[in-house]
Amino acid sequence: MFEKKLALESTVIAHGLPKPFNINVALELEKIARQNNCTPYTIGIIDGQIRVGLTEKEITEIGTRKDVMKVGTAEIAIAVTLRKWAATTVSATMRIAHSNGIKVFATGGIGGVHSTEHWDVSQDLLELARTRMIVVSAGPKSILDLKSTIEMLETLQVTVVGYKTDRLPAFYCKSTDFPIARVEDTEQIASIFLHKEKMDLPGSLLVFNPIPDEYAISQEVFEQWQKMAEKDLQNCNVEGKNVTPFLLSRLAHYSNGKTVQSNVELLKNNVKLACDIINQLWKMQ
């Protein structure tokens, strides 16, 4: 029987938002889920133990400790074996949530292909291709190579739809030039997912939910901040999983905090839509 469970990631707490603002946001997202008749399960790894539903104390500690790993699916077993504290990215959160019977996950932006001189592709893409669940996101992170990311999603046969939009949103940016399939309501979203289950089709239903108008950042303005942030990246020895947190922190600096505010609002928006989808699935089961 379908249960009204919503998965939430912990990387946004440990590595995505500034301290101590991050903790308040994490608790607010859980509150929004409960207000919308869903049970939130923030996922993380505490001292080597996988937690599906962090306590408020654990959220506070994972948001303040300096030794919290950032783990994708590939690193889950390492964190468990070495008894680490770890924050789960999109891929790790999906894998753990799916293993615990959770079908819907709300996040901010998905990872993808970075537009750097070094080959850098997020584990998120492969997990989206093989794990069947509904993932609500505001689009690929704006710092990514969007063309390569959307092409990779297509190649990996990830089912991608835009909620009330036929253009790819990109995190802070409400719309880009890349076309995607449009859905008008949560009933269509639920129906697509149920058909995937009925036909045993692999992979996620990735629902791109554009950031609300009042918090969107134009592509032109964002690109100016991005160029400055990428210049900083070139001057620092930052690689791998540390690239995204570094760029997000520099974007927050150059935008005087506007990117952080936009990040928070799109997270809230995605939790609300995810809960609407869960309630629709509940009606249709």
Which spans in the chain are helix H?
A: 11, 21-35, 56-62, 76-81, 90-99, 123-130, 146-155, 186-198, 219-234, 243-254, 258-284
- CB-hemisphere CA count at 13 Å for 198? 7
Query: Would residue 84 show up in a list of annotated catalytic residues for this protein?
Result: no
What torsion do the CA atoms of 70, 73, 74, 80 make, to the nearest 10 degrees? 70
Calpha distance 120→1 (Å, rounded) = 39
Backbone angles phi, psi at 194, to 5 degrees: -65, -35
pLDDT for the residue 180: 97
Residue type, 101: G
Catalytically annotated residue among 5, 70, 103, 141: 141
pLDDT of residue 118: 61
- The answer for residues whose C-beta is within 8 angstroms of residue 243's C-beta and 6 or more apart is 114, 116, 120, 233
Tokens describing residue 257? 């905090």
Q: Catalytic: 28?
A: no
Query: Of 9, 30, 75, 127, which one is the catalytic site residue?
Result: 9
Amino acid (one-letter) located at 84? K
- Write out the DSSP string of 207-239: EE-PPPGGG---HHHHHHHHHHHHHHHHTTT--
Please give the pLDDT value at position 66.
Answer: 93
The rounded distance, in Å, linking the Cα atoms of 123 and 106 is 17
Element (DSSP H or E) covering residue 71: strand 69-71
According to the model, what pLDDT value does residue 80 have? 98
Distance in angstroms (rounded) separating the CA atoms of residues 97 and 113:
24
- Alpha-carbon distance of 5 to 10, in angstroms, equals 16
Alpha-carbon distances, residue 140 vs 24, 107, 148, 196, 274 (angstroms)? 24, 11, 11, 23, 17
Domains in the chain with CATH codes: 5-284 (3.40.1790.10)
Cβ-count burial 231-263 (b if 16+ within 10 Å, e if not):
ebbeeeeeeebebbebbbbbbbeebeebbbebb
Rounded to whole angstroms, the Cα distance separating 67 from 79 reads 12
Tens digits of pLDDT across the chain (285 residues) = 678 999 999 999 999 898 888 999 999 999 999 999 999 999 999 999 999 999 999 999 999 999 999 999 999 999 999 999 999 999 999 999 999 999 999 999 999 998 766 668 899 999 999 999 999 999 998 778 899 999 999 999 999 999 999 999 999 899 999 999 999 999 999 999 999 999 999 999 999 999 999 999 988 898 899 889 888 888 887 777 677 778 878 888 998 889 899 999 999 999 999 999 999 999 998
The type of residue at 14 is: A
Structure tokens at 284: 């249709």
Residue 147, token pair as written in the block: 């063309």
